[in-house]
Amino acid sequence: MDINNRVPRWRLVLFSFGNFGWMLAAASFGSVITYFYFPPEVEGTTPIPELITRAPVLMGLTVLGIILALSRCFDAITDPLIANMSDRSTHKFGRRRIFMASALLPFALTTALVFWPPDDTPSTLNVIWVSVCALLAYLFMTMYCIPYGALTPELGKTSDDRVFIATCNSIAWALAFAFSQSIWALKGELESMGFDAMTAIRMCAIFFSIVGALAMAVPVLVIDEKKYCDGNQCSEHVFSAMKSAFSNVDFRMFTLSNLLTCMATFFLETGAIYYVTILMGMSESTASLVMIVMFVCSFACYPLVVKLTRRFQKRTMQIFALVLHGLLMALIPLCTVLPDAALTGWILILLLAIPTAINSILPTVILADIARSDGNRTGSHKEGVFFGAMNFNIKLAISLTSLVFPSLLIIGSASGTPNATGASITVMVGGALCLLAALALKFYDEDRVNQFLNDAPDRQDDGEGLKGNFDYS
């Protein structure tokens, strides 16, 4: 490893702006589109006119629901294709930066244009407009975020660098999420100035798209792939590359663990409002405060997590976090039987900040280690495929959680409404998922991965990959 070729820390901080940018654009687009086309009634009327049919059209599904579902399916298909195209690219601008630069403006543009259907009343043209904008928005998001993620193992020349990148990106994600939630306050301010709800939403969409695009442009400008990356490519086609990646047993075990971890995380995030109100006996308005407090406390743990990665194996820390996360989630139903439900709930939330901090940083670092190690071992550097698989994991976890969670939530209710029994079952299932994720990660061999990292100065690459004594099948 060439120490002199390490990326300066200030550039790595600016690199995280890209994560802030695409997360901001995606979060504001994803959270607002349903409100825009399905606004709640206010004093018997909706603040935004009907632009696409709101009534169910197929087996209880709405037009917007079908559009978003198909867009997500299309998004999942393009993940491995974009990943492999980036891995194989030999463009002089950089195999990652060329995709990021090409995608950032169209992504920002489509996330805003989706709120500008051409007709003022429901029409087929409006449906086509929203469908095309949604499909393109997800396509350009994939074109940006997968090559962006694949830069992590390339820019992270040492374990410390990879931990630092993951930490900065985690902070950037949290800031983007918090910033995106301000859209409702901004909308209210615009309405108080005399703008109607439709215009206010559109102005917010433009603002967030511009901010997102500017942030996404920063890593394209400050990261020179020719200078800071090794210039490796992958010659394998998409199916061959995916088969090769999944032949790596450590990647398979991590992928399974990561899928279960993501599902557990989404169970907690989706169920927070029910756990706070039904199990902890607090008001709905407290739910947001609870999540904010947990995230703030988790940020306070970040420096400690970074220091501990220098003393303990990442696998050991991640397993500890998953077990602790699982046990704390399983204890949440106790709030209904203990004397002070609210106090018990706050204690559990504060303790959850510890595994949340670890889970926010280490999965990306572990995947970066696997991708870098596999490239050095095999001579085929397909970081895009590895990070594309992680992206797909997140989407699959969201889909499975959305499918299962509502059914579990109404268990024990004759009327089909959320209740204490259903809420307790969902949080215990989430805890069980964490424990299963920890079990899967037990089969991840960190020593085997570390043997082929460039961090090890006694290893040399003969041009055909590094040779070792471990079985990867």
pLDDT band at 466 (very low <50, low <70, confident <90, very high): very low
Q: How far apart are CA 377 and CA 359, in angstroms?
A: 27
Residue boundaries of the structural domains of the chain: 1-225, 234-453
- Confidence check: pLDDT of 1 > 50: no
| Class in CATH terms, 234-453 | mainly alpha
Q: How far apart are CA 160 and CA 320, in angstroms?
A: 20
Q: How far apart are CA 393 and CA 251, in angstroms?
A: 12
pLDDT band at 268 (very low <50, low <70, confident <90, very high): confident
- What rounded mean pLDDT belongs to the chain? 85
How far is C-alpha 204 from the chain's CA centre? 23
Average pLDDT over residues 361-370: 93
- Convert the pLDDT of each residue in 406-458 to its tens digit: 788 888 877 667 888 988 999 999 999 999 999 999 999 999 999 888 653 43
- Confidence check: pLDDT of 462 > 50: no
pLDDT at 357: 93
Average pLDDT over residues 315-328: 96
Q: Do 1-225 and 234-453 fold alike per CATH?
A: yes
Burial track 274-293 (b if 16+ CB lie within 10 A, e otherwise): bbbbbbbebeeebbeebbee
Closest by Cα among 190, 228, 182 to 11: 228
Q: Where are the alpha helices (DSSP H) in 182-196?
A: 183-192
**Running DSSP on this structure, what letter comes out for residue 23?**
H
Q: How far apart are CA 198 and CA 191, in angstroms?
A: 10
Q: How far apart are CA 144 and CA 463, in angstroms?
A: 30
Q: Residue 441 burial by CB count (10 A; 0-12/13-18/19+): exposed, middle or buried? A: buried
Closest by Cα among 82, 192, 62 to 122: 62
The number of residues in the chain equals 473
- 45, β-bridge pairs: 42
**Running DSSP on this structure, what letter comes out for residue 43?**
T
Closest by Cα among 263, 311, 292, 1 to 163: 311
Neighbours of 270 (CB within 10 A): 18
Q: Residue 227 burial by CB count (10 A; 0-12/13-18/19+): exposed, middle or buried? A: exposed
Tell me yes or no: is domain 1-225 CATH 1.10.645.10.
no
- Confidence check: pLDDT of 460 > 60: no
pTM: 0.79
Q: How far apart are CA 462 and CA 451, in angstroms?
A: 15
Neighbours of 413 (CB within 10 A): 13
Kind and range of the H or E run holding 335 = none
| Spatial CB neighbours of 2, under 8 Å, sequence gap ≥ 6 | 157
Neighbours of 430 (CB within 10 A): 27
Q: How far apart are CA 369 and CA 377, in angstroms?
A: 12
Q: How far apart are CA 27 and CA 119, in angstroms?
A: 26
Q: How far apart are CA 31 and CA 24, in angstroms?
A: 11
